[in-house]
């Protein structure tokens, strides 16, 4: 059996193609996740827990198709697969570093840095950094006008005056144009998530001449890596 570490559209496409050969693992952060194929939910319990899971379920290969910012899971996968002697492939969608507008963005290494940079920009600021990190922006932007867009808003307590939007991608150009025009954003903060599902905001920000602040991806330990679902499926076919 192939274990797909999921939570992304790429993982769903892999699961659809691999069918009964695969099981998808989700962290369980989203109450109503979009799922394809057989799914398990919840953490494994660190490196040792994942290594034990691989042995117990006779996993023959692991595809880490998690989000580029799910660094803890990706690091654990490298260690656990090495310990268990199970082949690992990381499927990483291409970064936005090569986006036509990338050279004009402000690239930062952390959410704290992004928050300080955003505080200097024209408001309102659109935050698209995920539910787990939205609150990191409160100390620097608490007194500013902010619109925070997250997939699921449950449990987020934000300052008065912040607008919380709960919506799940993919986002279209027309939809983003309407949203950006309605709020008159001065700046936007995003992670370098990569991929087409949330890319429209980058073009619309450029059309409106907005400052874009991009949080760089976390560094990960080296392992065999591909950037497309098709390449991951080819690798999966080679596994026992």
In the complex, which residues of this chain contact ligand NAP (CB under 6 A)?
5-8, 25-27, 29, 43-46, 49-50, 66-67, 69-73, 76, 130, 132
In the block, which residue shows the tokens 């969608």? 93
Sign of the alpha-carbon torsion through 156, 118, 174, 179: positive
Whichever of 130 and 186 has its CB closer to ligand NAP, that residue is: 130
The minimum distance between CB 46 and ligand NAP, in angstroms, equals 4
Sign of the alpha-carbon torsion through 209, 213, 126, 96: positive
Whichever of 83 and 177 has its CB closer to ligand NAP, that residue is: 83
Whichever of 105 and 186 has its CB closer to ligand NAP, that residue is: 105
The minimum distance between CB 188 and ligand NAP, in angstroms, equals 16
Whichever of 34 and 178 has its CB closer to ligand NAP, that residue is: 34
The minimum distance between CB 172 and ligand NAP, in angstroms, equals 19
Whichever of 72 and 94 has its CB closer to ligand NAP, that residue is: 72
Structure tokens at 34: 């979009």
φ/ψ of 159, rounded to 5, equals -60, 155
The alpha carbon torsion through 125, 33, 72, 141 (nearest 10 deg) reads 20
The minimum distance between CB 142 and ligand NAP, in angstroms, equals 22
The minimum distance between CB 215 and ligand NAP, in angstroms, equals 10
DSSP string, 16-67: HHHGGGEEEEE-S--SS----SSEEES---HHHHHHHHHHHTT--EEEE---
CB 103 within 8 A of CB 212: no
- Give SS3 for 225: strand
DSSP string, 80-97: HHHHHT--EEEE-PPPGG
Whichever of 62 and 212 has its CB closer to ligand NAP, that residue is: 62
Whichever of 70 and 205 has its CB closer to ligand NAP, that residue is: 70
CB 213 within 8 A of CB 108: yes
The minimum distance between CB 209 and ligand NAP, in angstroms, equals 27
> CB-hemisphere CA count at 13 Å for 9?
11
The minimum distance between CB 72 and ligand NAP, in angstroms, equals 3
């Amino acid at each position: 059996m192939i274990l797909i570490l999921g939570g992304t559209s790429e993982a769903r496409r892999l699961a659809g193609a691999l069918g009964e050969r695969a099981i998808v693992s989700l962290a369980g952060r989203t109450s109503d996740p979009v799922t394809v194929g057989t799914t398990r939910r919840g953490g494994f319990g660190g490196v040792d827990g994942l290594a034990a899971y691989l042995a117990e379920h006779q996993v023959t290969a692991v595809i880490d198709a998690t989000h580029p910012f799910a660094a803890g899971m990706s690091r654990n996968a490298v260690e656990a697969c090495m310990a268990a002697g199970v082949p690992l492939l990381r499927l990483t969608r291409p970064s936005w570093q090569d986006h036509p507008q990338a050279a004009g963005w402000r690239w930062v290494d952390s959410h704290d840095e992004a928050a300080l940079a955003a505080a200097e920009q024209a408001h309102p600021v659109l935050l698209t950094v995920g539910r787990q990190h939205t609150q990191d922006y409160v100390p620097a932007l608490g007194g500013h006008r902010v619109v925070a867009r997250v997939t699921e808003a449950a449990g987020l307590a934000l300052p008065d005056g912040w607008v919380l939007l709960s919506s799940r991608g993919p986002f279209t150009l027309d939809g983003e144009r309407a949203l950006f025009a309605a709020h008159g954003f001065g700046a936007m903060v995003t992670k370098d998530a990569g991929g087409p599902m949330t890319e429209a905001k980058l073009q619309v920000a450029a059309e409106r001449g907005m400052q874009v602040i991009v949080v760089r991806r976390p560094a990960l330990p080296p392992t065999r890596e591909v950037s497309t679902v098709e390449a991951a499926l080819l690798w999966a076919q080679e596994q026992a």
